[in-house]
Amino acid sequence: MDSRQKELAHALVEQVECGVIVLDERLRIQYWNDYITQCSGKPLRQALSLELTQVFPEADTPQLSQMLARARDQGEHAYNEWRESPNLLNLPYNRFGEPVPPRLQNALFFPFTDDSDRPCFGLLLYNTRELSSTNSHLDAALKALCHKQIEQEQLIQKLEKANAQLLQSEKLAAIGQLAAGVAHEINNPIGYVFSNLKTLAGYVHDLVRIIDAIDQAASLEELRRLKHQLEYDYIRGDVEALIAESEDGIDRVKKIITSLKDFSHTDDEEFRLADLHRGLDSTLNVVNNELKYKAEVLKDYGELPEIECIPSQINQVMMNLLVNAAHAIDDFGRITLRSGQQTDWVWLEVEDSGRGIEPHLLTRIYEPFFTTKPVGQGTGLGLSLSYNIVRKHGGRIEVFSERGQGTRFRVWLPLRQASPQSCQEESRPDE
């Protein structure tokens, strides 16, 4: 190397943004460049011939010993990095002597020989501020991501809770709606039974008058006159009719109350064997008020074994389907109920002759709050609630609809809940 080349090399070493330290065999400082002086705040002359760890006590670490061992014993270049404080060497300033926070510090420790063949060690130190900041950005992004994930999990938990509450309130709303319908249904028979009772009370009063007259009447003729005057013959015929009609009315009320009890089973949330047709019939009785002015209801039931289900929930599903069917009919139409079995599955079907569903809405009808009904008329929860219930049973809902022709909902349910979650995927009915 000529002197020009040496000058160039020296200028480069003094100006490079990188610490260059030369140590002798015993790790005594022989030289460092201006970068180290500026960044450490220590002048070279005070450090010359001192051991590295005397000048930089923080460097006395197992990592440095390992690097030294590799460089000295195996003649290798040993590389290490210090991601955060403390660094290998504490360099608290930048090139211009201004304080800077600790940064990612890379260190390369390697053996070499000088002009006279004496073994020496070189130590190169460079801070990769960019890398470090990218790294810290990455760290921050990762932390934010973790945070987001936790937030999301919390949100999901909240949603699940809200969903459970919604189910509950939807159930309450449904019960409220039902109660109104049922009240109407019961009101009618109760009304005429009450009016019959009043008429009967009048008749009894007249009959008592006729019987009392037996003791007081002067003649049989007078008694006959009274009987005729009080229209005994008419009373006699009417009493029978009134009593028969009242019995009918009371029977009807009894039937509604039984259906209501069957339908609700509010305290039973357990899977048990149940007769789906019986549930469907009681549901029909309960929603009769919603259906009777909108459609004639036809039943085309197949043979069904008892299946393992939560009956009150399946009733809810069928009620939602029936009410939707009635709402889809503009004037007066037809609702057909069908059922059947296929291997380990049963199905229940509600078909209406209503408006049908627009094809592009078919994928949305199960979304919570999706409704095409005017504000105040539909909450849009009926089908989402039904979907959840059917899923919980390991079943599924199919829908077939044609605009202007009608809609058919088919609910598939497995016969048994072997293990309530797993049976969803096992055997599916053929499409």
Ligand X SMILES: Nc1ncnc2c1ncn2[C@@H]1O[C@H](COP(=O)(O)OP(=O)(O)OP(=O)(O)O)[C@@H](O)[C@H]1O
Q: Kindly tell me which of 110 and 370 has the beta carbon lying closer to ligand X.
A: 370
Residue 39 as a binder of ligand X (CB under 6 A): the answer is: no
Contact between 391 and ligand X per CB under 6 A: no
Per-residue interface string for the shown chain with ligand X, residues 308-337, x marking contact by CB under 6 A: ------------x---xx--x---------
Token pair recorded at residue 139? 């760290």
Burial class (CB in 10 A: 0-12, 13-18, 19+), 34: middle
Alpha helices in 52-127, H assignment, sequence order: 52-55, 62-74
* Minimum CB distance to ligand X, residue 177 (Å): 8
- Among ligand X, Mg ion, none, partner that 365 touches (CB below 5 to 8 angstroms by kind): ligand X
Closer Cβ to Mg ion, 111 or 382, answer by number: 382
x-or-dash pattern for ligand X, window 246-275, by CB under 6 A? ------------------------------
Q: How far apart are CA 404 and CA 419, in angstroms?
A: 41
Which amino acid belongs to residue 285? N
- One of 337, 348, 381, 415 touching ligand X (CB under 6 A): 381
Which listed residue (354, 382, 394, 395) binds Mg ion by CB under 5 A? 382
Would you say 353 or 417 has its CB closer to ligand X?
353
Q: Is 104 in the site for ligand X (CB under 6 A)?
A: no
Does residue 380 interact with ligand X by CB under 6 A?
yes
Selection from Mg ion, ligand X, none that 325 binds (CB < 5 to 8 A by kind) is ligand X
Contact 263, 278 (CB under 8 A): no
Does 370 help bind ligand X (rule: CB under 6 A)? yes
Is the Cβ of residue 203 or residue 387 nearer to ligand X in the bound state?
A: 387
The distance from CA 171 to its chain's CA centroid, rounded to whole angstroms, is: 18
Instruction: Report the alpha-carbon distance of residue 369 to residue 386 in Å, rounded.
Output: 13
In the bound state with Mg ion, the residue whose beta carbon lies nearer, of 29 and 322, is 322
Nearest distance, CB of residue 298 and ligand X, angstroms:
16
Q: What share of the chain is helix, strand, coil (3-state, %, to 5)?
A: 50, 20, 30
Calpha distance 326→290 (Å, rounded)? 7
In three-state secondary structure terms, 295 is strand
Which phi and psi angles does 164 have, rounded to 5°?
-60, -40
* DSSP code per residue over 334-398: EEEEEEEEETTEEEEEEEE-S----GGGTTTTTSTT---SPTTT--S-HHHHHHHHHHHTT-EEE
Q: Near Mg ion by CB under 5 A, which window of 35-43, 61-69, 164-172, 323-331?
A: 323-331
Q: Which residues bind ligand X (CB under 6 A)?
A: 320, 324-325, 328, 352, 354-357, 365, 370-373, 378-384, 407
| Residues near Mg ion (CB under 5 A) | 324, 382
